[in-house]
A = this chain, B = another copy of it.
């Protein structure tokens, strides 16, 4: 059901500084960057092989990500596992007794997704994602 690690998400206080640090220190290329008003975050990607490192910073002071940053500081936030069919994954997770945060898939930056609650995964917020179709075969 799970095809690969799509991305690892890291919460940071200063997106510009973090992006530069990851690019300068690790030599990773700088990828797409976007503001997500609904999630109250800005994100930037660094392609890493066939996966991505995602840097996230809150754009408001009372979002979940802002509270996480205030409480725990910068660092690893969640992992995202890619699936070919998000509805099938949701149904299978429910059948397997997973503790879900979302009752139905939601629109994420890169596709349709739902999250597993850290209570059921030994402390790790896990996103399941079916990416939007890529246009790069055109």
| A residues lining the B interface (CB < 8 Å) | 1-5, 8, 10, 12-13, 17-18, 21-22, 24-28, 48-51, 53, 55, 72-79, 81-82, 92-93, 96-98, 116, 118, 120-124, 126
B74 touches A123 (CB 8 A): yes
Are B48 and A5 neighbours in the complex by a CB distance under 8 Å? yes
* Among B27, B50, B72, B121, contact of A25 (Cβ-Cβ < 8 Å): B121
Residues in B whose Cβ lies below 8 Å from that of A27 = 1-2, 92, 96
Asked if residues B122 and A81 are in contact (CB atoms below 8 Å), the reply is: no
A-B contact pairs, 14 of them (CB 8 A): A2-B27, A2-B28, A3-B49, A4-B48, A5-B48, A5-B49, A10-B123, A24-B96, A25-B98, A26-B81, A26-B96, A74-B122, A74-B124, A75-B118
Given contacts A26-B81, A120-B25, A122-B75, A48 and B8 within 8 Å (CB-CB): no
- Contacting residues, chain B, for A98 (C-beta < 8 A): 25-26
Task: Say whether, besides A8-B8, A76-B76, A76-B79, A120 and B2 are in contact (CB < 8 Å).
Answer: no
